Amino acid sequence: MRRQRNRTKLSMEDIEFRTTLLGSLKNCLEAADKLNEIYKKTNETLDLILGNQLEIKHTRTEITNIIQTPDSRPEEHKNQVNDLKCEEAKNTQLEKQNEKRIQKCEDSVRSLWDSFKRTNIRIIGVPEDEREQDIENLFEEIMTENFPHLVKEMDLQVQEARRTPNKRNPKRTTPRHIIIKMPRAKDKERILKTARERNSVTYKGIPIRLSADFSTETLQARREWQEIFKVMNTKNLQPRLLYPAKLSFRIEGQIKSFTDKEKLKEFITTKSGLYEMLKGIL
């Protein structure tokens, strides 16, 4: 990192860094407020679902009791059963609506969490040693060892550097990952792009890996594209995984992108060649 020797005067870089830092703190507070709002809405949705489930259970019990009651007034019982079945169908529709609300809440939390991690770099494979309190300088060493030209061209600034999780598990055989939070997403993207082009990244000669930092749900969504990605890559469709978990590829001179497998499945039914290629894995 570039260290300012004369600390009596603030340079433009110092002012820019402090302004960026204050902006990041403001974003964190706004994110916390949004997360709290989502949490409240989720609780309200869950309460509504529980109420609907009790109502559905009551409706089914009534249907069962009517069916099992001696048939003294057949027509009246038949009407009651029909009414209750209509009520049950209505409750089933409510269940589906509630499921959509829950999914929407989960998607909002996932999006918020990914947004919070947007400027993070995850470093995998760095051995754990006595330098746990000096991770920021460790990142500088990795950059100097692998990307010396970037160190010269960029004003490398780090907002936060830490191991994750916070506590070491003695049963864990692999080193904990390092999270580096950059002030700007474009700096993170430039570093990761250079790492991909280099193919091999090391720390004191030990192979390590740099990657983007995603929420658990987004990471799983990206993994689900891997098999399809590999097949498309062998067929020269130029597939790409876009942020946060969108698959993009080129077909018939056009670039298509999809956020989930169901939409891709609908699309390939219109493309016979693509259908034959993916029918075994979709």
**Per-residue pLDDT reduced to its tens digit, 130-149:** 566 688 889 999 999 999 99
Which runs of consecutive H residues, i.e. helices, occur in the chain?
Answer: 12-68, 74-116, 135-146, 148-153, 185-198, 216-223, 226-234, 261-268, 272-278
Q: How far apart are CA 58 and CA 153, in angstroms?
A: 69
Specify the range with the lowest mean pLDDT, choosing from 15-29, 195-209, 225-239, 248-262. 15-29
**What does the pLDDT read at residue 124?**
94
Full-prediction pTM beyond 0.85?
no
**What does the pLDDT read at residue 9?**
46
**What does the pLDDT read at residue 216?**
85
- At the topology level, CATH places domain 118-213 in Alpha-Beta Plaits (3.30.70)
- At the topology level, CATH places domain 217-279 in Rec A Protein; domain 2 (3.30.250)
**Per-residue pLDDT reduced to its tens digit, 2-13:** 444 444 445 665
DSSP character for 237? -
Q: How far apart are CA 8 and CA 11, in angstroms?
A: 10
Mean pLDDT of 159-181: 85
